[in-house]
Amino acid sequence: MKIQEILSRFLKLHKKEIDLSLDRINHLCEKLGNPQDKIKAISVVGTNGKNSTIQACYSILKEAGKKCNVYTSPHIQKINERFVFNNKQLNDDELASLFLEVEKINNNKPITFFEILTACFFYKAAQYPNNINLIEAGLFHRFDATNILKNNLASIITSISIDHLDWLPANQRSIDKIIYEKTSNLLDSNLIIARQHPISTLKKIKKTIDTNQSDKYYFNKDFSFSDEDNNFFYYEDKFGRLKLPEPNVLGQYQKENISSAIATLRILDLDIKDHHIKKGIQKIENIARLQEIKSGKLKNLVKDNLFLISGDHNEDGARVLNEYLRSLDCKKHIIIGMMKNKEHKKYISHFENIASLTTVDIKKQSGAISGIQLKEKFNNIPNVDYKESIEEAIKGINLDKGDLLLVTGSLYLCSEILDLN
């Protein structure tokens, strides 16, 4: 309860949820002793794959005995997920203590919710100057609260695509503007550029980072992977070729994220051995990103059928998700809920041969589109239905043996699934 009370106060510190500027975070961090200048960081920017890439890095680093601090957003079930120090999430008492200390130093000055959380992370991270910090950028990056570091070990640019257009000026809502916001202000260190789709996006990224003095490493040029054997895949860069076991995360796109993680850690010469990589990629914890639900209340309703949740919510996320679905020879049933500011029709257009589609409300999010409105947007799709609750949605689907049930469209919906389960 104490944490929720503090968070409620944090939410009231600024009239806007997002107000893109570095002034407030810089001012607070100055009062905190500029903790961001005392840490070693790997920054991860992009649209899709940021969390997955961080979790791959984190798992490999832990296998190598390295101590890490990890900052990601949003959280799925508990805000503690955003605050990992010395390879361990802060417990409620530790987190409340951190929040209270920073809140007192902030002294009620205006600052957004994400900004004060970021300040809290930097403040705590500075207590572990030898740890490696894995930091996920928030919205866009150029004016994102995480972008106050003066130096870092590397920046990873994951897949960039159209998303969050409502936060851009009406006349600048384009992939070009998104690429500029995410990559024009990256630090001079090492840039690891993940696979981009389409290729025109990569060309635009190259143009934007052309004057950046970093060493640059590109997927398919400086590092790559290939599938050649059952239950194995191959990774290759200038340091050599690795035969790797299949990771414990689903989807071909996860191998792209894992490859970016491996490339980064090998480039940085962190004494990562081949066996650390092999074991690490089989222990990745990646909540709500094509995650299989294997037990629990909702799983009991699904019975022996494959039950997946994936918080994808933009076109590129839908594209890579469906690359995986096409590899499965079964009927696919989908439950979907989305936020109002997403491209609903474009998202669903990537799904093929849907056996049934059920829209639901995301009950804990005021910014969500109602399930009824979502159904109306999908009225050209056969077998579309609306249900008031997730339980009703599952019970209303006629699942035959071997069918797949997927819940998608929002990380917030996945959060509700995990809570209910």
What is the domain-level CATH number for residue 34? 3.40.1190.10
Where residue 323 sits, what CATH number does that domain have?
3.90.190.20
Q: Please tell me the total count of domains within the chain.
A: 2
Of 160-169, 294-303, 328-337, least confident by mean pLDDT is: 160-169
pLDDT the model gives residue 382: 87
190-193: strand order across its sheet? 88-89, 84-85, 68-71, 132-136, 40-45, 154-157, 190-193, 215-218
- Asked whether residue 223 is assigned to any structural domain, the reply reads yes
- Give the end of a domain, one of 245, 280, 315: 280
Could you give the 3-state DSSP secondary structure of residue 354?
Answer: strand
Residue 33 lies in a domain: yes
Classify each residue of 242-280 as buried b or exposed e, where b means 16 or more C-beta atoms within 10 Å of its C-beta.
bebeebebbbebbbbbbbbbbbbbbbbebebeeebbbbb
Kindly state whether residue 217 falls inside one of the protein's structural domains: yes
Question: Quick one: DSSP state of residue 44?
Answer: E
Looking at residue 45, what is its pLDDT?
Answer: 98
Beta bridge partners of 45: 157
Pairing label, strands 404-408, 306-310:
parallel
20-38 confidence digits (pLDDT tens): 899 999 999 999 999 999 9
Does 260 fall in a domain?
yes
Give the pLDDT score at 305: 97
Q: What is the value of pTM for the model shown?
A: 0.95
Confidence label for 201 from pLDDT (cuts 50, 70 and 90)? very high
pLDDT at 259 over 70: yes
* Residue 188, C-beta contacts closer than 8 angstroms, at least 6 positions apart: 212, 213, 214
Domain boundary among 280, 309, 333: 280
Residue-level pLDDT at 206: 98
The C-alpha atoms of residue 247 and residue 285 are separated, in whole angstroms, by 11
Q: How far are the Cα atoms of 198, 211, 242, 346, 376 from residue 159, in angstroms, in the given order?
A: 10, 21, 23, 18, 31
Q: Which residues contact 243 (CB under 8 A, 6 or more apart)?
A: 229, 232, 234
Same domain, 309 and 268: no
Percentage above 70 pLDDT, the chain: 100
What integer is the mean pLDDT of 103-112?
A: 97
pLDDT at 391: 97
Q: How confident is the model at residue 158 (pLDDT cuts 50, 70, 90)?
A: very high
| Cβ-defined contacts of 97-104 (< 8 Å, 24+) | 98/123, 98/124, 99/3, 99/6, 99/7, 99/10, 100/6, 102/28, 102/32, 103/6, 103/9, 103/10
* Residue 348 placed within a domain: yes
One domain for residues 200 and 103: yes
Q: Are 191 and 216 in contact (CB under 8 A)?
A: yes
* 71 confidence band (pLDDT: 50, 70, 90): very high
What residues make up the domain containing 239? 2-280
Where residue 303 falls among pLDDT bands split at 50, 70, 90?
A: very high
Given pLDDT bands bounded at 50, 70 and 90, which one contains residue 102? very high
Q: Locate 103 and state its tokens.
A: 């809140």
296 & 261 share domain:
no
Distance CA 20, CA 32 (A): 21
Mean pLDDT, all residues of the chain? 95
402 vs 328: CA distance, rounded Å: 10
How many whole angstroms separate alpha carbon 217 and alpha carbon 259?
Answer: 12
Four-residue CA torsion sign, 298, 74, 9, 98: positive
Question: Do 216 and 331 reside in the same domain of the chain?
Answer: no
248 and 156 inside one domain: yes
In this predicted structure, the answer to whether residue 231 has a pLDDT above a threshold of 90 is: no
Q: Which of 218, 247, 280 lies at the terminal end of a domain, its last residue?
A: 280
Does one domain contain both 263 and 295? no
Question: Both ends of the chain: CA-CA distance in Å?
Answer: 22
Burial status of residue 399 (CB atoms within 10 A of its CB: 0-12, 13-18, 19 or more)? buried
- The pLDDT value given to residue 1: 59
Cα(370)–Cα(363) distance, rounded to whole angstroms? 9
The arithmetic mean of pLDDT across residues 314-325, rounded, is 94
For residues 120 and 80, the answer to whether their CB atoms sit within 8 Å is: no
Span 171-194, mean pLDDT? 94
Is residue 286 domain-resident? Answer: no
Residues 178, 249 within the same domain: yes
Q: Verify that 297 and 400 share a domain, yes or no.
A: yes
Residue 403 domain-assigned?
A: yes
Which segments of 303-358 does DSSP mark as H helices, in order? 315-325, 344-348
Q: Per-residue pLDDT averaged across 147-160, rounded?
A: 97
DSSP conformation letters of 137-160: --SSSTT-TTTT-S--SEEEE-B-
